[in-house]
Structure 1
Amino acid sequence: MSISLLLEMAQEVASADAERTAVVDDDIRLTTEELSTLADSGAGVIAASGARHVAYVGTGGAMLPLLLFASARAAVPVTPLNYRLSADGLRALLDRLPDPLVVVDDEYRDAVGEGYRTIGSAEFLESARTAEPAAEFADPDAVGVVLFTSGTTSKPKAVELTHANLTSYITGTVEFASAEPGDAALICVPPYHIAGVSAALSNLYAGRKMVYLRHFDADKWVQLVLDEGVTSATVVPTMLDRIVTVLESRDITLPRLRTLAYGGSKVALPLVRRALELLPDVGFVNAYGLTETSSTIAVLTPDDHRDALAADDPAAVRRLGSVGLPVPGIEVEIRREDGTVCGAGEPGELFVRGEQVSGKYTDIGSVLDEQGWFPTKDVAFLDEQGYLFIGGRSDDTIIRGGENIAPAEIEDVLVEHPHVRECAVVGADDPEWGQIIVAVVVPRSGTEPDIEDLRSYVRSQLRGSRTPDRVVFRHELPTNATGKVLRRDLVDELNAQTKEPA
């Protein structure tokens, strides 16, 4: 099944209400019929170029669903690229794509530079209004989307997602045409992230109006929710934190918002509890997934959130910090280093399997094992009821004096301290221990945390070997666009400090 079929199915349903808006992007408003027509002609533009790949450098909005479906109908893979990269970084990725047509927003033309077959986003849109249509159904097993991993610790890998991967995720997790006529989804995740791709596909399939906010601003986000009657939205942790700050300062409610999903990286529980307190009528969803799995593989539902908050049983209360249960069609296993399967509560590496799982990279090939399992490199465990808990990346493990220490274990305790707003725990080089535990703390406004008090707070709840050797303070943590803390930046900064001459 090609992803272009998702648009055709949505178009048939929308024909009963031809004026129903499908996409809102500033002044651009498109119905499903208009989006489909543009995708057909956009496919013609792509086919006429002779390109074997489409790359997009820009902030997204209506261009993302348009290019997703136009490329699918031209049977050519598409890659949204991180427009925040340096010119050298951007060109390095472009050079890895085979004979691409580069669609670029005007402000990033200089970064793309010369030497590529290039067309401006506005020019592509205008050409798509007049070009001869081209419509070809791609092979379901053909690559539909290629996304580069963030590459925060190594060279970015090019993840290949087939049409079958993407459509199996959508059809397995989204009920077709299930949205009410007035439903609207606010999309502010970046176009080059799997969440941006899946949001475009899933909301169209469900029949929701898609409202794009290209550059996140918490005040604008709140205003769009009110102005456009937004009923659902997805945010990353840094966005949720800023939204909560706005809601606290303006003392307003969001009466039409029914669902707020958060994910992309771990969210501190004090922030989740405060958001639930401010928006008691909103159903919160914690979604966990990876690029290689075509998006979400586990979900903590609104009922799960409410049950955990109301529970007395410690195991049930703890589930607020989980990512929930696997979605339909996904199997999970937690394995020890020797490959055997862990028991309940025992941490190990998370492996996943299902039709939506790609596990294939350009120039590397598939990393699935013989039974089709994908190694996520995430440390995790399952509780007795099958709820999945993520403990961070295996690469983040601190090895202090030969003992493996998971940063998440310390972070989960430290962030509950009343003077801590955010924290990240990393391992810094040390000549005696190999690595030492460093807690990087963002204090709560108006507080001045005492270092020894913070260390004692951790020591009182965890083994002594988990006590931070050092505590350093920062105004904010370095993060990428999806809210993931750039731990390597912190480690490099800490290691550089120890090497500076006295």
Structure 2
Amino acid sequence: MHLSMLLDMACDGFGERTLVGRSRDGMTADDVRRRARAGAALLRAQGAEALVYLDVNGPAYPVAMFAAAYAGVPLVPVNYRLGEEQLDYLLGQHPGAVAITSEDSRAHAESIGLRPMSSLEWLEATDQADDGSDAEWSEQPAIIIYTSGTTSRPKGVLLRHENLVSYVFGSVEFAGASEKDAALVSVPPYHIAAVANVLSNLYAGRRTMVLEQFTPEEWLTVVREEAVTNALVVPTMLARIVSCAADLSVPTLRNLAYGGAPMPTRVIEKALTVWPDVGFVNAYGLTETASTIAVLGPEDHRLALASDDPAVRARLGSTGQVLPTIELEIRDADDQVAAPGEVGRICVRGDQVSAEYAGIGRSVDDRGFFDTRDKGYVDDEGYLFIGGRVDDTIIRGGENIAPAEIETILLDHEDVDDCAVVGIPDDEWGQRIEAAVVARTGHDIDPESVREHVRAHLRGSKTPDRIHVVDELPRTETGKLVRRHVVSAILHRLASVEG
């Protein structure tokens, strides 16, 4: 299987349909293939062994993805906002690569030895007649995405053609979208969701647009002006959209997908109330699994919101059921399969699961299962609940405590808009529990009231020793919490007080 198959199928099925960009000046499927072939010729002529993408998301991105595929080299989308040291390290892994860069990143890429060109230059260079050339088959991965490197140097996740095509074949209906369907994507190009959305929307025949700089007002405007039917946001974006004072009407929107971080229950409940006719989809996946492996669909959302049964209602906080193409096991501390409702490590297997790292190889057990390092459980009906990362576990007096459990309670407090629970070193307990919280607009937080709220729902050993009120929490563009920065900020604050 090869990514070019997906583009060839799109061209054969609806080649003259606009699939990339705004309706007034977008690219058709035929345009993307024509440009991809020209881009592949450019990469071959320069002897490039990779195509680095170091810019914001936009029309150059899908052309780059398929050009790399046609040339038989990997596309390497890199976070252009990284610090100089990390950026030097990542770019240094791909000497001699061609790099599509922003103007701000151009000189940096060139100093590392890459051959840079701007997104505009790339689009101009690939605007050539279709040479009809075939894609090159090679042993190279299709995409390399670097992990965030929260505890060590970023690792390059190798996504092979078969992983990505398997994901699309297993989750998307070919030509399932109408010619009027349009998707609005609000994730950066170096995130697996950006890759998945290029492929899945193209395969479905749905036009895709990117909102480069997100604001809730701009998002709402684009949805209305471009008659958007499908959208993808991260939880923090949805929270800002449904809470803003702008016109919230979205007459054409039929489906809204979210993921990348936990969704506060009150946010999704409000969104379901504001837009009762919109179908909400919660998607759970990882870079190593080539995107989505579990989905909570629109009907699941509506049934959970309307139910008086606590178990059904709780499913609003789940990631839904696993895709038919994925095998999932919850493993306990002894590496045995856990019973329904029992928390353990989430392990998965399937053709879309890469679990492969540059310089390391595949990280699977002898049965081919990949340990996601996420904790969770499956209920009696097969709904998957995520309980945070294994590495986030707080060990207080020998007891393992999951921050996610406490954070769920904190977010139910009427004054709390965002929160993070972390373990802080302690001579007596090993670690003590502390929380950083952000107040909702127009609300003031009484730390002791928040502690009492937690104590009323969880036992005393899970109540944070201290509540720190902060203006905002360190999150990535996709809403992922950077816990190490929370720990550092709290330690700095405590040192300042003690000093």
TM-score, normalization by structure 1: 0.96
- 1:250 is paired with a residue whose SS is coil
8 A contact 2:35–2:130 mirrored in 1: no
Q: Match for residue 226 of structure 1?
A: 224
Q: Match for residue 480 of structure 1?
A: 476
> Alpha-carbon deviation of 1:153?
2.7
Q: Match for residue 440 of structure 2?
A: 444
Q: Match for residue 116 of structure 2?
A: 118
8 A contact 2:145–2:287 mirrored in 1: yes
Q: Match for residue 63 of structure 2?
A: 66
Q: From 76, 80, 89, give the equivalent of 1:79.
A: 76
Distance 2:159 2:484 in 1: 27
Distance 1:385 1:259 in 2: 24
Q: From 408, 412, 417, give the equivalent of 1:416.
A: 412
Distance 1:411 1:54 in 2: 40
8 A contact 2:234–2:478 mirrored in 1: yes
- 1:96 is paired with a residue whose SS is coil
Structure 2 regions of 5+ residues with no counterpart? none
Q: Match for residue 127 of structure 1?
A: 125
The 1:28–1:487 alpha-carbon spacing in structure 2 relative to 1, beyond 3 Å, is farther
Q: Match for residue 358 of structure 2?
A: 362
TM-score, normalization by structure 2: 0.96
8 A contact 1:329–1:354 mirrored in 2: yes
What is the Cα-based RMSD across aligned positions, in Å?
Answer: 1.6
String of CA shifts for 1:82-127, please: whole Å, max 9, x gaps. Answer: 0111233212101112532112122321332422222222222211
Distance 2:354 2:25 in 1: 34
Instruction: Determine whether 1:189 maps to 2:187.
Output: yes
- 1:460 is paired with a residue whose SS is helix
Q: Match for residue 85 of structure 2?
A: 88
- 2:231 is paired with a residue whose SS is strand
Q: From 297, 301, 308, give the equivalent of 2:304.
A: 308
Distance 2:128 2:203 in 1: 26
> Alpha-carbon deviation of 1:451?
1.5
Q: What is the identity, as a one-letter code, of the residue corresponding to 2:423?
A: G
Q: From 323, 332, 351, give the equivalent of 1:327.
A: 323
Q: Match for residue 492 of structure 2?
A: 496
Q: From 147, 162, 179, give the equivalent of 2:160.
A: 162
> Alpha-carbon deviation of 1:335?
0.3
Identity %: 48
> Alpha-carbon deviation of 1:64?
1.2
Which range is displaced more, 386-395 or 23-32?
23-32
> Alpha-carbon deviation of 1:421?
1.1
- 1:298 is paired with a residue whose SS is strand
8 A contact 2:217–2:246 mirrored in 1: no
The 1:25–1:229 alpha-carbon spacing in structure 2 relative to 1, beyond 3 Å, is closer
8 A contact 1:45–1:131 mirrored in 2: no
String of CA shifts for 1:236-256, please: whole Å, max 9, x gaps. Answer: 11111121123xx12431010
Which range is displaced more, 387-396 or 206-215?
206-215
> Alpha-carbon deviation of 1:311?
1.1
Instruction: Determine whether 1:340 maps to 2:336.
Output: yes
Q: What is the identity, as a one-letter code, of the residue corresponding to 2:463?
A: T
Runs ≥4 residues deviating over 6 A: none
Instruction: Determine whether 1:296 maps to 2:292.
Output: yes
8 A contact 1:75–1:136 mirrored in 2: no
- Paired residue total: 497
Distance 1:450 1:467 in 2: 15
8 A contact 2:220–2:248 mirrored in 1: no
8 A contact 1:360–1:366 mirrored in 2: yes
Q: Match for residue 10 of structure 2?
A: 10
Q: What is the identity, as a one-letter code, of the residue corresponding to 1:212?
A: V
8 A contact 2:445–2:469 mirrored in 1: no
- 1:178 is paired with a residue whose SS is coil
String of CA shifts for 1:360-386, please: whole Å, max 9, x gaps. Answer: 000111111111100000011000111
Which range is displaced more, 78-87 or 176-185?
78-87
Distance 2:254 2:373 in 1: 34
Instruction: Determine whether 1:51 maps to 2:25.
Output: no
8 A contact 1:413–1:461 mirrored in 2: yes
Distance 2:348 2:132 in 1: 37
> Alpha-carbon deviation of 1:356?
0.2
Structure 1 regions of 5+ residues with no counterpart? none
- 1:69 is paired with a residue whose SS is helix
String of CA shifts for 1:171-213, please: whole Å, max 9, x gaps. Answer: 1100000001200000121000000000000000000011121
Q: From 261, 266, 272, give the equivalent of 1:270.
A: 266
8 A contact 1:74–1:135 mirrored in 2: no
